[in-house]
Amino acid sequence: MPAADTYFPILLLFVIAVVLAGVILLIARLITRFAIKPREGEAKYTVYESGVNPLGDARLRFSIKFYLVAMIFIIFDIEVVFFYPWAVVFRDMVKESPLILWEMLVFVAILALGYAYVWRKGGLDWD
Amino acid sequence: MKHPIETAAEQIRATAAEATETLNLGGAWPAGLPLETVILLTLVVIAVIAVTVVAGIPIVLVLMERKVSAYFQNRLGPTRVGPWGLLVTLADGIKLLFKEDMVPPSSDRKLFRLAPYVVFAASFAVVAVIPPFQSTVIGNMDLGLFLYLAISSLIVLGIIMAGWASNSKYSLFGALRAAAQIVSYEIPLGLAVLMIVMATGTLNMQHLVMDQADGIHAWYMFRHPFLFIGAFIYFLSAVAEVNRTPFDLPEAESEIVAGYHTEYSGIRFAYFFLAEYANAFIVSAICATLFMGGWAAPFPFLSGVPGVVWFLGKTMFLVFIMMWLRWTLPRVRVDQLMSLCWKYFLPISFVNILGAGVLALLEREEIGAQLGGMFLSAEAVSWIAFPFVLALLGWFARWGTEPVRRPS
């Protein structure tokens, strides 16, 4: 059995979850279509803004900090992904030679340098 | 070698053929079916069952949450619908089903409609990698853990889609907060999972549980102190990942109404709600599987009890702790949330990984301590040193700070 078939159940769960969600939504729509008539009203269709009329568009500019978090995340997340293949072979390789640990130490040292730089520059401070 | 799924499918085909013959459903026609069809049909049936069960879990958890919160606050909680209020979530679900499916005209309609599906499907698809009992097929994937990390991060996409598409200020703020929080905590979470991978050398969750099946001392949580800390980091990061108090800033109702699902109503809101509780269950289940032995019994003499009981028991225990946290702690501020992740969890995780690596090296060299003629392994020594190191760190952390004054 090819490897792709092992992961087929995940796709299947994905599809069935979507189908289930769609069917429930369809039932809900049919109920409001035929069984209960929802009330009409203009205010119903405005977005919620604490009870007053919405002021302008909500596609505002938001704080730069979110971009910073996203960028730091990408850097560190990729590091974590790099760690995984190493971690999978670690247990077997360490029995042969300790080199695998020292190699990773070098990697972590470089990472720690970058981390210290980001911290020092205030990239991790929210205020 | 035959794949276990093929063997299982052959058995199912034989059983089905027997059943149709004895029940006079037109002879033993299932015996002539190709194996692929049998596998596909079996998988569809299993998937439908899995989705239904997982969709049922939030119904139980919502009731549990309401009861737990009630007892924490010296109330009774729901008592009217059904005996002991057992059917209250079903009643809520029916109410939501009868609500109008409304899309605000100012929103991005396509995205607004798509977002609940993404969140719902992503949180449900993760279930496939969790082994709830001993089985050769379910949860037996060589990349299980990796898939969990990959698919669970799809949820944040759905949340951003929902917040952006709503075209409401509260939704946007909620979505941004959720995105920042979830992606931040994914790193300590990934590093905590990494320690498990280092200890076993596999990403297959069924193998992980087998490795811990000897009993409570074999649980990864209790292997060595670094894994013990890793378990706490995983759990707290997971609480932040599923946006639960004390990390529920994306849905802080006193600040931003309901966060990213402010504009959602009726059954679409229910999808977010269901996915949230399903997620709380899933991260607890994964924590139980990774650190607490999954379906394996804690003591060998209890191994007669079915694995699914242990699995559910451990998971529900962790879910209860989540609820306990929710009804005990106040919400943290955004800066506290971010500094906890980036300034505490992240460095601790790296130290953990290095510590685990060094310990593995010491074990290999068989370096340890001699104590009165008894050899103590490096792991045992680290356990003995652990409380002292913790006390020392606590003492350092309080260095120069004023002692807490208690009211007399």
- Domain boundary assignment for chain A: 3-120
Chain mean position to CA A40: 37
Query: Is pLDDT above 70 for B1?
Result: no
User: What's the pLDDT score for residue B3?
Assistant: 65
pLDDT digits (tens, 9 = 90+) for A72-82: 888 888 888 88
pLDDT digits (tens, 9 = 90+) for B265-306: 888 888 888 888 888 898 999 999 888 888 887 887 777 778
Indicate the DSSP class of residue B298.
S
pLDDT above 70 covers what percent of chain B?
93
Name the maximum alpha-carbon separation found in chain B: 85
User: What's the pLDDT score for residue B2?
Assistant: 60
Q: What are the angstrom distances between the C-alpha of B49 and each of A27, A102, B52, B117?
A: 20, 48, 5, 19
Contact list in A for residue B198 (CB cut-off 8 A) is 87, 90-91
pLDDT digits (tens, 9 = 90+) for B113-153: 888 888 888 888 888 788 887 776 666 777 888 888 888 88
pLDDT digits (tens, 9 = 90+) for B375-406: 777 777 788 888 888 888 888 887 777 766 77
The CA distance from B221 to B200, in Å, is: 13
* Inter-residue contact B113 to B266 (CB < 8 Å): no
- Say how many C-beta atoms besides its own lie within 10 A of residue A27's C-beta: 12
**Continuous H helices in B79-153:** 88-97, 109-125, 144-152
- Within 51-110 of A, beta carbons closer than 8 Å to B belong to 54, 57-60, 62-63, 65-66, 69-70, 72-73, 76-77, 80, 83-84, 87-92, 94-95, 98, 101, 104-105, 108
Query: Is pLDDT above 50 for B308?
Result: yes
User: Helix or strand or coil: residue B40?
Assistant: helix
- Higher-pLDDT residue of B30, B232: B232
Q: CB under 8 Å, gap of 24 or more: what pairs does A67-70 form?
A: A68/A123, A69/B180, A69/B183, A69/B184, A69/B338, A70/B179, A70/B180, A70/B183
**Continuous H helices in B126-168:** 144-152, 154-166
Q: What is the CATH number of domain A3-120?
A: 1.20.58.1610
Give φ, ψ of B258 to 5 degrees: -130, 15
User: What's the pLDDT score for residue B213?
Assistant: 80
- Higher-pLDDT residue of B343, B44: B343
* Inter-residue contact B5 to B138 (CB < 8 Å): no
Interval B339-365 mean pLDDT: 85
The CA distance from B275 to B237, in Å, is: 18
User: What's the pLDDT score for residue A1?
Assistant: 46
> Is residue B246 reached through a cis peptide bond, with omega within 30 degrees of 0 on the bond before it?
yes
- Higher-pLDDT residue of B244, B402: B244
* Inter-residue contact B311 to B285 (CB < 8 Å): yes
The rounded mean pLDDT for chain B is: 82
Query: Is pLDDT above 70 for A6?
Result: no
User: What's the pLDDT score for residue A107?
Assistant: 87
pLDDT digits (tens, 9 = 90+) for B41-68: 777 777 788 778 877 888 888 888 888 8
pLDDT above 90 covers what percent of chain A?
0
Tokens matching residue B131? 């082994």
Tokens matching residue A3? 């490897």
pLDDT digits (tens, 9 = 90+) for B214-229: 877 788 888 888 888 8
User: What's the pLDDT score for residue B321?
Assistant: 92
Chain mean position to CA B326: 16
Interval B23-31 mean pLDDT: 69
B332 Ramachandran zone, left/alpha/beta (phi>0; psi -120 to 50) = beta
* Inter-residue contact B161 to B114 (CB < 8 Å): yes
Which helix (H) or strand (E) segment holds residue B370: the answer is strand B369-371
- What ipTM goes with this model? 0.85
Model's pTM, two decimal places?
A: 0.86
- Within 147-186 of B, beta carbons closer than 8 Å to A belong to 147, 151, 164, 166-173, 176, 179-180, 183-184, 186
Q: Determine, for residues B198 and A46 on separate chains, whether the beta-carbon distance falls below 8 Å.
A: no
pLDDT above 90 covers what percent of chain B?
4
Which of A96, A69, A59, A68 has its CA nearest to residue B187? A69
Band (B4; pLDDT cuts 50, 70, 90): low
Nearest to B267 among A25, A87, A127 (CB): A25
Q: Does A34 touch chain B (CB under 8 A)?
A: no
The CA distance from B151 to B148, in Å, is: 5
User: What's the pLDDT score for residue A2?
Assistant: 47
- Higher-pLDDT residue of A56, B394: B394
